Amino acid sequence: RGKRAFIAGVADDQGFGWAIAKALAAAGAEILLGTWVPALNIFETSLRKGKFDESRLLPNGSLFEIAKVYPLDAVYDTPDDVPDDVKSNKRYAVATGWTVKEVAESVKNDYGSIDILVHSLANGPEVTKPLLDTSRKGYLAAISASSYSYVSLLKYFSPFMNPGGSSISLTYLASEKTIPGYGGGMSSAKAALESDTRVLAFEVGRKYKIRVNTISAGPLRSRAAKAIGFIDDMINYSTANAPLQKELDSDEVGYSAAFLASPLASAITGTVLYVDNGLHTMGVAV
C-alpha cells in the first residue's frame, strides 16, 4: 500500500513544503496539502492554470499529483478560537472548516488515515525587529504560528496516523546560535519547536508508534524568507563559509524528509537533522 502524506504550509512552488511534497510524491506517496487560507485562492488558481507545471515534473517524466488542497490556518485549533474580525474577513470567508481540528476531521473523513505529517510553516509578524524591540504580542504570535501550530497538528492528526508513521517539521539554526536579523521571537519559536520535537517524539512514540523529527535547513529563497529581508546575505554567507560551498537546493531538503518519512529511518525519532551543507558545524567565518 502506498503512503499518504499531509503537508501543512504549501502556498507556492518555492518553499520547502513544495519540495517535500514533490519528493514524497516521487517516492509514491499520495499528497494532501494544507494551505494558509489567505493564500488559498492564488495557489489553487496558479495550480489550475499550470503555473507550477514545470516544478511538478518528476524524475520519471510525469507531473506529481496533489490529491486535495485543504484550507488551513494553524493558529486556530477550533472554531471557538477564531475572533470575529477574522470570521468576517473576506480573505477568510472564501473557505470553511480551516481550523486545525476541523481540517484533521476532514482528512480523516476523506481518507481514513495518513502515514506522514509535515509541518512546513512559520510566521512572525515582527521578524524584522530585534528580540529586544519585539512586543509581547508579536513574540506570542511567532510562537503560536511557528511552534504551537505543530503541537496542535500532532494532537489532532496523530490519532488517525498509522503506526510506524512519521512526522517532520522545519527548523533553523537561529534556535541555538545567535543570528542577528532573525528576530520577532522567531529564534525563540524555533528553540521551542526543537525542544517540543523531543517531548512529542516521546509522547506520540509511546502512544501511537509515530516518529517525530525536525530538519534544520540551510537558507532558501522562499517567499517567507524573502519577507525577513536578509536571505541573500545568508545564502552568500553559507556559500562562503559552509564545508560544502554550494547553494542549498530545496530538493535536498525534500529528499531528506523522504528519508526520514521512510522505513529506512525506522529507529530515528526526536532528532534535529541538519540539511545545511554543514554550516552548523562551523564556529568561525573563514
Which residues contribute to the site for ligand NAD (CB under 6 A)?
9-11, 14-17, 36, 39, 72-75, 120-123, 145, 170-172, 217, 219-220, 222-225
**How many Cβ atoms are within 10 Å of 75's Cβ, its own excluded?**
20
Minimum distance from CB of 222 to ligand NAD (Å)?
Answer: 3
Between 209 and 280, whose beta carbon lies closer to ligand NAD? 280
Closest to ligand NAD by CB, 89 or 162: 89
Which residues are catalytic, by number?
Answer: 172, 182
Q: CB of 25 within 8 A of CB of 64?
A: yes
- Tell me which amino acid residue 42 is: I
Cell numbers standing for residue 11? 502556498
Q: Shortest approach of ligand NAD to residue 1 CB, angstroms?
A: 29
Nearest to 169 by CA among 188, 186, 146, 185: 146
Nearer to ligand NAD, 86 or 209 (CB): 86
CB of 122 to ligand NAD, least distance (A): 4
Rounded to a whole number of angstroms, the minimum distance from the CB of residue 176 to ligand NAD is 13
102, 79 contact by CB (below 8 A): yes
Among the listed residues 33, 41, 26, 29, the one whose alpha carbon sits nearest the alpha carbon of residue 9: 33
Residue with cell 486556530: 76
**Whose CB is nearest to ligand NAD?**
15
- How far is it, in rounded angstroms, from Cα 143 to Cα 60? 40
Q: With respect to ligand NAD, which residue has the nearer C-beta, 25 or 224?
A: 224
Residue among 145 and 210 whose Cβ is closer to ligand NAD = 145
Query: Where do the DSSP E strands lie in the chain?
Result: 4-8, 30-36, 68-72, 114-119, 161-171, 211-217, 272-275
CA 77 → CA 41, 69, 84, distances in Å?
A: 22, 18, 15
Looking at the DSSP bridge assignments, the partners of residue 72 are 36
To ligand NAD, the closest distance from the beta carbon of 201 in angstroms equals 18
